[in-house]
């Protein structure tokens, strides 16, 4: 067994989690900043209709990230498990097939968006006023979807290979380029949402180049041409372990679609109209995505630690690593809760100004919808934990609890009685319900793991 050769098997857990999670957090924050930076500059240069346009096109990005996680997390989880079991040739084959899968799926997804973008944007809640902006933005960002899938996928593999800093650098390069080009295209060349889209794709392209450079640099395995190919059995196994993380993203997409359409429907019956609730929702969700990026970063940093030690049968170490990640999550979520509850107006103002009705609704939306954000990360980390130990079914169940089993039904039922307020209160109710289910499943799994024969 190679646990003494790989730091995942013997390094102190706080130091190990820090070294893997911090670069992962930075990488995820950078990834989220693509959309947040666009939202800020579009809000300042175009107005809240431009923000609403990026909001209705955002589900296309979350679907893209779902594909990237399906392949990237699935491949990385299997890679870690086989490294822990000291089966390096099998691990190399997983990497090669995973990269081939990223490229093929990325190209197919971009083609589908270009063909069906108008009906997709309509389904995502675009109104007549918002549609022209949304089409301009989506036509261009679709080109960058293959780059985004490849970058995120290889970044997960690089992290599992013991190179979290390289994974972070891949994302950082693109974000810097995007942030520099956004104001140039929007304010100097007056290109509006088109300029923001071009800046985003340009950044994604250079991030992808950085990710591809890592292929010959894998440390734990040596990749050969024979490892790359289309092996359906490998693809299926990768998908199985990446399913919980991917379903979580797809569930977020489905929630966004239901949320957008509910906001426009019930907003039309209120004093706010259709467009203000949609624009305000976009700001709140993008802001929350920064906090979620930190939590996902912790979860991704935890994945190779959990996977390797579970494969090496070091179960006590697995339990300690999970507990440490949860403590970090709760501390960070507490900071986010305070920001959302006490400084919502200041946060929303960063994304541009609007009339008093827009600001009032956005502040109320942020405070109520994100009230239980303190508990949200526990479900996300636990879902990926089950995937990392090779139990994707439990991970999949947890991925579906908050968004599909609780939030979507609440979004459909509560507004029947309380209108727009019902949409706002659906968020915290769903968060608390998902936390209860997660706690029960994790307690059962930890009890089972204590009874398993462990290797010292």
Closest CA to 64 of 102, 116, 121, 118: 102
Closest CA to 197 of 32, 35, 33: 35
Question: Would the CA dihedral through 317, 94, 31, 132 be positive or negative?
Answer: negative
- The string of DSSP letters for 39-76 reads HHHHHHHT-HHHHHHHHHHHHHHHHHHHHHHHHHHHHH
Closest CA to 75 of 184, 224, 231, 203: 231
Q: Looking at residue 8, what is its pLDDT?
A: 80
**pLDDT by residue, tens only, the chain of 456 residues:** 444 567 888 888 999 999 888 888 887 787 777 667 777 888 788 777 777 788 888 889 889 989 998 999 889 989 988 888 888 888 999 999 999 999 999 999 999 999 999 999 999 888 888 899 999 999 999 999 999 999 999 998 998 898 988 988 988 898 889 889 999 999 999 898 899 999 999 999 999 999 999 999 999 898 888 888 777 877 888 888 787 778 777 887 888 889 989 998 999 898 888 888 988 888 888 888 889 889 988 998 898 899 888 888 899 999 999 999 999 999 999 999 999 999 999 999 887 766 788 899 999 999 999 999 999 899 889 988 988 888 878 887 887 888 888 999 999 999 999 999 999 999 999 999 999 999 999 999 999 898 887 665
Which tokens sit at 319?
């339990």
CB 300 within 8 A of CB 31: no
User: Using CA atoms, how far apart are residues 400 and 397, in angstroms rounded to an integer?
Assistant: 5
Name the phi and psi angles at 10, rounded to 5: -140, -20
Which tokens sit at 231?
């092996």
User: Using CA atoms, how far apart are residues 119 and 268, in angstroms rounded to an integer?
Assistant: 21
User: Using CA atoms, how far apart are residues 80 and 311, in angstroms rounded to an integer?
Assistant: 8
For the full predicted model, state whether its pTM sits above 0.85: no
Using alpha carbons, list the distances in angstroms from residue 312 to 5, 80, 100, 271, 385. 12, 10, 28, 60, 16
Query: DSSP code of 403?
Result: I
| 176 C-beta neighbours (distance < 10 Å), count | 15
Closest CA to 101 of 247, 243, 230: 230
CB 170 within 8 A of CB 154: yes
Task: List % helix, strand, coil for the chain (3-state, nearest 5).
Answer: 85, 0, 15
CB 73 within 8 A of CB 237: no
Question: Would the CA dihedral through 62, 393, 402, 337 be positive or negative?
Answer: negative
CB 149 within 8 A of CB 106: yes
Closest CA to 305 of 83, 153, 66: 83
Give long-range contacts, CB 8 A cutoff, 24+ apart: 261-265.
Answer: 261/125, 262/411, 262/412, 262/415, 262/423, 263/125, 263/420, 263/423, 264/125, 264/127
CB 178 within 8 A of CB 138: no
Using alpha carbons, list the distances in angstroms from residue 24 to 53, 77, 126, 195, 388. 29, 15, 33, 28, 16
Alpha-carbon dihedral of residues 31, 33, 259, 435, nearest 10 degrees? 60
User: Using CA atoms, how far apart are residues 121 and 143, in angstroms rounded to an integer?
Assistant: 16
Query: DSSP code of 401?
Result: I
Query: DSSP code of 232?
Result: H
| 252 C-beta neighbours (distance < 10 Å), count | 24
CB 22 within 8 A of CB 301: yes
Q: Looking at residue 227, what is its pLDDT?
A: 85
Q: Looking at residue 205, what is its pLDDT?
A: 97
Only one residue has tokens 């450079």, namely 213
Name the phi and psi angles at 221, rounded to 5: -135, 160
């Amino acid at each position: 067994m190679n646990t003494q050769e790989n730091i995942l098997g013997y390094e102190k857990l706080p130091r190990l989690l820090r070294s893997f999670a911090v670069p992962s957090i930075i990488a995820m924050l950078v990834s989220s900043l693509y959309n947040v930076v666009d939202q800020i500059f579009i809000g300042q240069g175009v107005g809240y209709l431009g923000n609403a346009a990026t909001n209705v096109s955002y589900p296309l990005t979350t679907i893209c990230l779902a594909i990237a996680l399906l392949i990237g997390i699935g491949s990385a989880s299997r890679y870690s498990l086989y490294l822990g079991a000291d089966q390096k040739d099998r691990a190399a084959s997983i990497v090669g097939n995973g990269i081939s899968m990223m490229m093929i799926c990325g190209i197919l997804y971009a083609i589908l968006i270009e063909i069906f973008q108008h009906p997709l944007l309509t389904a995502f809640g675009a109104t007549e006023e918002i549609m022209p902006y949304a089409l301009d933005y989506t036509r261009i960002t679709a080109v960058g979807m293959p780059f985004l899938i490849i970058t995120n996928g290889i970044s997960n593999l690089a992290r599992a290979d013991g190179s979290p800093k390289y994974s972070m650098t891949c994302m950082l390069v693109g974000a810097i380029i995007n942030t520099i080009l956004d104001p140039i295209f929007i304010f100097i060349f007056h290109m509006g949402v088109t300029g923001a889209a071009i800046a985003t794709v340009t950044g994604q392209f250079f991030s992808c180049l950085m990710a591809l450079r890592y292929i010959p640099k894998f440390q734990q395995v040596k990749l050969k041409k024979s490892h790359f190919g289309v092996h359906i059995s490998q693809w299926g196994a990768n998908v199985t372990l990446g399913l919980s993380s991917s379903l979580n993203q797809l569930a977020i997409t489905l929630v966004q679609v239901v949320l957008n359409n509910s906001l426009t429907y019930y907003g039309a019956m209120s004093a706010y109209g259709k467009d203000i609730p949609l624009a305000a929702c976009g700001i709140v969700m993008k802001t929350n995505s920064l906090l979620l990026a930190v939590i996902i970063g912790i979860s991704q940093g935890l994945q190779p630690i959990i996977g390797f030690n579970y494969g090496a049968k070091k179960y006590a170490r697995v339990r300690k690593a999970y507990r440490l990640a949860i403590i970090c999550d709760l501390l960070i979520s507490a900071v986010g809760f305070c920001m959302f509850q006490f400084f919502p107006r200041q946060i929303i103002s960063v994304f541009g100004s609007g009339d008093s009705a827009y600001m009032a609704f956005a502040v109320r939306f942020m405070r109520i919808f994100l009230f239980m954000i303190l508990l949200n990360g526990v479900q996300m980390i636990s879902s990926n934990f089950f995937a990392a130990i090779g139990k994707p079914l439990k991970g999949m169940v947890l991925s579906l609890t908050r968004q599909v089993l609780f939030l979507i039904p609440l979004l459909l039922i509560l507004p029947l009685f309380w209108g727009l307020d019902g949409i706002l209160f659906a968020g915290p109710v769903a968060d608390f319900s998902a936390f209860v289910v997660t706690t029960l499943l994790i307690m059962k799994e930890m009890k089972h793991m204590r009874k398993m024969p462990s290797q010292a």
